[in-house]
C-alpha cells in the first residue's frame, strides 16, 4: 500500500503544473476536480488501495481537522478524510440553500503561495447535506458540522435563530457527529460581492 501511495504522490507532482494552468482563470475548478476524484475513488472502491499507508495510522495526542469549506456539501466520504489523518468537518451548512457569490470568486497568488476565497458559504442546504451524510454510514469515524445563518438580508434575530435551529434539527439521528462549530463570518451576510482590486 505504501508503494502505491508513493506512486500516487509522485504522479500528483507531475500533474500539478497542468492542473494550475488549466484552472488559472477559475482556481475553484481545481477544488471541483478534487471532489470528483474523491467520489471516483469511493465508487470504484479504490480509496484504501490508492490512499492507505502507514502514516495514516500514526497516533497524535490531538485531532487535526480540515477547514470548513473544503467539503461544503458532504460530497467526500469520511473515510477519504481519515486516510489523510483528518477528523472531517463539513460545511459551512446553512438552513436554506445558498448560491454564494458569482464565479470566478477565488484567486491564486502564486508569488506569495497564497489563495483568496470569496465563495461566501455556497451550499446545498441542511436537509440535502444531512441526507447525503446519512448514506455514508461510516459511523466509526467522528465528524463535525460547521453551521451558519442563511445569508438572507434583513432577517430578524428570531428568524436567524429559527434558521440555525432548522440546521441542527436536520442533523438529528446522525450519531457519528461529535460536535458543531458556528461560523459567524460577516462576509457571508450578503449575496453581492464587494468591489475589490483582487478580482479586476
pLDDT per residue as tens digits for the range 5-42: 778 778 888 888 999 999 999 999 999 999 999 999 99
Judge whether 2 lies within some domain: no
Judge whether 66 lies within some domain: yes
Domain count, the chain: 1
Q: Output the domain CATH number for residue 93.
A: 3.20.20.70
Task: Report CA 199 to chain centroid distance, whole Å.
Answer: 23
The strand pair at 89-93 and 106-109 is best described as: unpaired
Please state the pTM of the whole predicted model. 0.83
Judge whether 154 lies within some domain: yes
pLDDT per residue as tens digits for the range 123-153: 999 999 999 999 988 778 999 999 999 998 8
Q: What pLDDT is attached to residue 1?
A: 62
Judge whether 22 lies within some domain: no
Q: Are 129 and 93 in contact (CB under 8 A)?
A: yes
Judge whether 79 lies within some domain: yes
Domain that holds residue 121: 59-199
End-to-end CA distance of the chain: 46
Task: Report CA 9 to chain centroid distance, whole Å.
Answer: 21
Amino acid at each position: 500500500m505504501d508503494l502505491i501511495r508513493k506512486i500516487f504522490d509522485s504522479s500528483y507532482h507531475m500533474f500539478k503544473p497542468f492542473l494550475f494552468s488549466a484552472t488559472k482563470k477559475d482556481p475553484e475548478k481545481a477544488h471541483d476536480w478534487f471532489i470528483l476524484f474523491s467520489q471516483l475513488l469511493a465508487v470504484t472502491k479504490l480509496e484504501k488501495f490508492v490512499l492507505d499507508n502507514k502514516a495514516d495510522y500514526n497516533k497524535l495526542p490531538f485531532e487535526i481537522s480540515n477547514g470548513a469549506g473544503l467539503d461544503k456539501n458532504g460530497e467526500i466520504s469520511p473515510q477519504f478524510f481519515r486516510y489523510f489523518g483528518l477528523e472531517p468537518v463539513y460545511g459551512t451548512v446553512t438552513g436554506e440553500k445558498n448560491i454564494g457569490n458569482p464565479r470566478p470568486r477565488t484567486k491564486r497568488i502564486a508569488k506569495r503561495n497564497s489563495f483568496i476565497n470569496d465563495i461566501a458559504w455556497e451550499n446545498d442546504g441542511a436537509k440535502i447535506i444531512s441526507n447525503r451524510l446519512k448514506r455514508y454510514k461510516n459511523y466509526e469515524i467522528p465528524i463535525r458540522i460547521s453551521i451558519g445563518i442563511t445569508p438572507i438580508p434583513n432577517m430578524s434575530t428570531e428568524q436567524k435563530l429559527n434558521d440555525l435551529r432548522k440546521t441542527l434539527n436536520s442533523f438529528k439521528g446522525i450519531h457519528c457527529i461529535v460536535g458543531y462549530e458556528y461560523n459567524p463570518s460577516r462576509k457571508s451576510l450578503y449575496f453581492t460581492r464587494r468591489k475589490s482590486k483582487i478580482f479586476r
